Amino acid sequence: QVQLVESGGGLVQPGGSLRLSCAASGSIISINDMGWYRQAPGKQRELVAHIFSRGNTNYADSVKGRFTISRDNAKNTVYLQMNSLKPEDTAVYYCNAHLVAGPPDYGFREVWGQGTLVTVSP
């Protein structure tokens, strides 16, 4: 069974930095794209950043210039470097991947991680 495991969340002061990691494990043939989403209390889940297998990226306007997404294809891992954090960045951050699973469950899959909480507060 394919799963995504996030790490790196926590409490940070405004202006601080955090680095999130998300590792995919299980029977995987290839990963097409990976991304980070977030959901703040009382709000809908939104896209934060997205990266394709060839490295091209896109970001939400609210995080451009502050967050950087990257991936290590050899490790099936995606990262989110978050700088100049603001209180409005407080949310549960979820990792997402579109991939091709291997045996026994061959086929395209969309997989979500369990989420990691980021709290930005003085």
pLDDT at 18: 98
Please state, in angstroms and rounded to a whole number, the distance separating the CA atoms of residues 26 and 20.
Answer: 20
116 touches 6 (CB < 8 A): yes
Calpha distance 46→108 (Å, rounded): 23
Percent of the chain scored above 90 by pLDDT? 95
CA-closest candidate to residue 47, choices 30, 63, 27: 63
Output the pLDDT for position 91. Answer: 98
Distances 16 to 26, 38, 44 between C-alpha atoms, Å = 34, 18, 25
pLDDT tens per residue, range 67-108: 999 999 999 999 999 999 999 999 999 999 999 999 998 999
Query: Mean pLDDT for the chain?
Result: 96
